[in-house]
Structure 1
Amino acid sequence: MGSSDDFDKVIAVARKAMDRMLSDRLPPNPENFTLWFVYYSGLNPDLTRAVDIASRDGIALSQSLAEELFKRFFSLEAEAQAIRETSDRARYALGRVLEQLGAVGSETERYGNALVGFQDELAQPLNLGELRAMVAAIAAETMGIVDRQLALQTQIQESSNQLAEMRVSLDSARREALTDGLTGIANRKAFDLMLLEAMEEARRDDQPLSLLMVDIDHFKSFNDTHGHLVGDHVLKLVARMLTECIKGRDTAARYGGEEFSIILPRTNLDSATRLAEQIRSFVGGRQIVNKARNANYGTVALSIGVGQFRPGENSLSLVRRADEALYRAKRNGRNRVSVEDANETV
């Protein structure tokens, strides 16, 4: 770093990261070290918030949670790796085409020179045998260049197919990087990107934009009672029910843990609040069952906070207001909808 003070700070943060892994009995691998080093250095406020919320709610910082946090906040590397691999494959495919083009170019030049030679020979008196030999030679040269052209066409087609496969692979990697692995809906990274896009559209078109922050009440107790596999089943069901309640341009995302978010473009605060009540009632009225095990786990309740975008604010401000409304709903008894404080300044 730039000074001994900076060096000492880095060492102190590194020691905190190592101590945390030891206290939580997490393997000191590069991913876990990165996670805790960034947490204790304060370089990523979103990561800090996610860890603090988990700790506050009594969620054990297990290896599975550490892996989920790493994937959410550092998954760009996986996408970058896919891009690097695809780029290498594309360079190889195009290199093969260029080789064929170069070979065909040389062959075409040789073929042209051969034709000039044949033309000169044809200007001379020839007997029947010599003429037949020359025609055969011309035919052989012509077949050679045709074969080269066909080989080039084949190589170009193969390269085209490979490039199409690469495009599909990149699209798949992109979708995977933006999809929550458990629930199949948008993940936190996708939420951040889509919220920024929705805010830009709201500014540009002078349209309302609302945000719901949704949390499953008493989820930790549910997990402790029924186990993590059942808890995962509940998360999947809630995610599916949220998507059933929204329109095509709306986005439901898993924000982290048992918390979800819903982006509502072109939706004002009143409409968003009505939708939040509908979602709360719809989810709360459904029995959570596992048909494979013939088990009924009862119902789950949701607390929901509602916020509306205000011109001039950033995404963190909007999320913070909706999140504060969510925790106000929890403080007031849970299983309810709470709306942002209209008097709060941006």
Structure 2
Amino acid sequence: MRAVKLVPKDDLERVRVNAQKAMALMEERGIRQTPHNYAIWYEYILESNPDLTRAVNELITQHGKYTDKIGLELYERFFTREKEGRVIQETSRLVQKSMESMMGNLNESSANYTAYGKNLNSFAEKMEGLSGPELQGIIDEIVSQTHSMSGNTISLQQGIDSASREIADLKRRLQFVQQEAYTDSLTGIANRKCFDAELAKKVNEAQERSSNLCLIMADIDHFKSFNDTHGHTFGDQVIKLVATTLAKGIDSDAVAARYGGEEFSVILPDTELSEAVNIANDLRMAISAKKLIKRSTKKEVGKITMSLGVAAYAQRENALAFVNRADQALYSAKKSGRNCVKHSEPALSR
């Protein structure tokens, strides 16, 4: 019987206290006690994930309060990795099982071929001096073993084909889960997790190749006021419209992502700053040209505008500093009256 590893009493007490704190904080703020929300606020109480803590504070500041929508966004951003990890682990186990089955078939077939070869050699040594009936008996045995080997070969091929199909299916399943983990559920474009991974990749490429790289950070102007006036459902439609417009307005090698809430980002590899500013202005005008019509009333409710900040990558700069400069340019655009584009020149390399 396997020994059970006991959790120290101090650890259990710490978990209990933190759980109580999380539930008390949720109750105080009027937050529904769902598994998703509990996971977020328990982590928040622990203060073990600074990115999560900062994201919670920023979103509450932007929206005035914590909502189920914010909770879902935070959960997808910080907790889908656990789901992805479980699926990857399970897929790996199933692939290993298929490979073991295939290797078993191959080993069995190899053993059968070896035995078949030895028998043929034995038959050849006995051929001389045999009578007719004895020779007929040898031939019958050879035919029988040859038929058996033929059957084994067919079984082997069928086993390999079956394992190949299983592995192909598992590969498709894994690709689907990974794609789901990197996709924003509301808009269908890249999510924050995907943005972080893509930006890190593009920064590394820009460093290795000394190539151009630009980043656009964009925010829907007065979105909170718009949301409060027309409702969250209509606000979601606006976010989806903006996402679609951004994705359609860039080349296939660029990446448009929902950074969080009503903020978006666009990664532009092999793009100079002047060109990136032009792209940002094109996107801004494309969005402001959209007519917003409320489905329930069929009436036009005005238009939306965006403020955009553009930064060009500076060699040896890390991804966080790069994002911060684009964010500063975005803040400058908002201070300048919104619905405009501002850019940040890279600092000279030392």
Aligned position for 2:124: 119
In structure 1, C-alpha distance between the alignment counterparts of 2:335 and 2:10, rounded to whole Å = 43
In structure 2, relative to structure 1, the CA distance for the partners of 1:116 and 1:247 (3 Å cut) is closer
Q: 287, 312, 329: which one pairs with 1:283?
A: 287
SS in 2 for 1:212: strand
Residues 258 and 264 in structure 2, CA contact (< 8 A), matched pair in contact too:
yes
Aligned position for 2:3: none
301-310 or 248-257: which moved more? 301-310
Residues 329 and 335 in structure 1, CA contact (< 8 A), matched pair in contact too:
yes
In structure 2, C-alpha distance between the alignment counterparts of 1:39 and 1:308, rounded to whole Å = 34
SS in 2 for 1:75: helix
Question: Does the alignment pair 1:48 with 2:53?
Answer: yes
Aligned position for 2:30: 24
In structure 1, C-alpha distance between the alignment counterparts of 2:157 and 2:107, rounded to whole Å = 13
Contiguous gaps of at least 5 residues in structure 1: none
In structure 2, C-alpha distance between the alignment counterparts of 1:10 and 1:89, rounded to whole Å = 34
Aligned position for 1:201: 205
In structure 2, relative to structure 1, the CA distance for the partners of 1:342 and 1:90 (3 Å cut) is closer
In structure 2, C-alpha distance between the alignment counterparts of 1:249 and 1:319, rounded to whole Å = 19
Alignment of 1:66-77 (within 5 A): 66-77=71-82
In structure 2, C-alpha distance between the alignment counterparts of 1:208 and 1:107, rounded to whole Å = 61
- Normalised TM-score (structure 2): 0.85
Residues 284 and 305 in structure 2, CA contact (< 8 A), matched pair in contact too:
yes
Aligned position for 2:244: 240
Contiguous gaps of at least 5 residues in structure 2: 1-8
In structure 1, C-alpha distance between the alignment counterparts of 2:20 and 2:340, rounded to whole Å = 43
In structure 1, C-alpha distance between the alignment counterparts of 2:349 and 2:47, rounded to whole Å = 25
In structure 2, C-alpha distance between the alignment counterparts of 1:319 and 1:149, rounded to whole Å = 59
Question: Does the alignment pair 1:214 with 2:221?
Answer: no
254-263 or 129-138: which moved more? 129-138
Residues 195 and 259 in structure 2, CA contact (< 8 A), matched pair in contact too:
yes
Give 1:284 deviation, angstroms: 0.5
Residues 314 and 348 in structure 2, CA contact (< 8 A), matched pair in contact too:
no
Alignment of 1:296-311 (within 5 A): 296-311=300-315
SS in 2 for 1:182: coil
Give 1:5 deviation, angstroms: 11
| Amino acid aligned to 2:248 | E
| Amino acid aligned to 1:207 | S
Alignment of 1:89-104 (within 5 A): 89-104=94-109
Aligned-pair RMSD on alpha carbons? 3.1
Q: Deviations over 1:8-33 (max 9, x none)?
A: 9877655442223223332253x433
Q: Deviations over 1:255-297 (max 9, x none)?
A: 0111101112233333322322222121001113477985544
Alignment of 1:71-86 (within 5 A): 71-86=76-91
Question: Does the alignment pair 1:189 with 2:186?
Answer: no
- Normalised TM-score (structure 1): 0.86
In structure 2, C-alpha distance between the alignment counterparts of 1:164 and 1:107, rounded to whole Å = 29
In structure 2, relative to structure 1, the CA distance for the partners of 1:46 and 1:150 (3 Å cut) is same
Question: Does the alignment pair 1:107 with 2:146?
Answer: no
Q: Deviations over 1:88-134 (max 9, x none)?
A: 2211211221221232233234333433443354334323x444343
Residues 216 and 308 in structure 2, CA contact (< 8 A), matched pair in contact too:
yes
In structure 2, C-alpha distance between the alignment counterparts of 1:91 and 1:37, rounded to whole Å = 36
Question: Does the alignment pair 1:314 with 2:318?
Answer: yes
Give 1:252 deviation, angstroms: 0.8
In structure 1, C-alpha distance between the alignment counterparts of 2:349 and 2:145, rounded to whole Å = 82
Residues 313 and 346 in structure 2, CA contact (< 8 A), matched pair in contact too:
no
Alignment of 1:320-335 (within 5 A): 320-335=324-339
102-111 or 12-21: which moved more? 12-21
In structure 2, C-alpha distance between the alignment counterparts of 1:228 and 1:251, rounded to whole Å = 26
What percent of counterpart residues are identical?
Answer: 37
Q: Deviations over 1:150-202 (max 9, x none)?
A: 11111112212222222222222222221112211111111111111222222
Residues 115 and 138 in structure 1, CA contact (< 8 A), matched pair in contact too:
yes
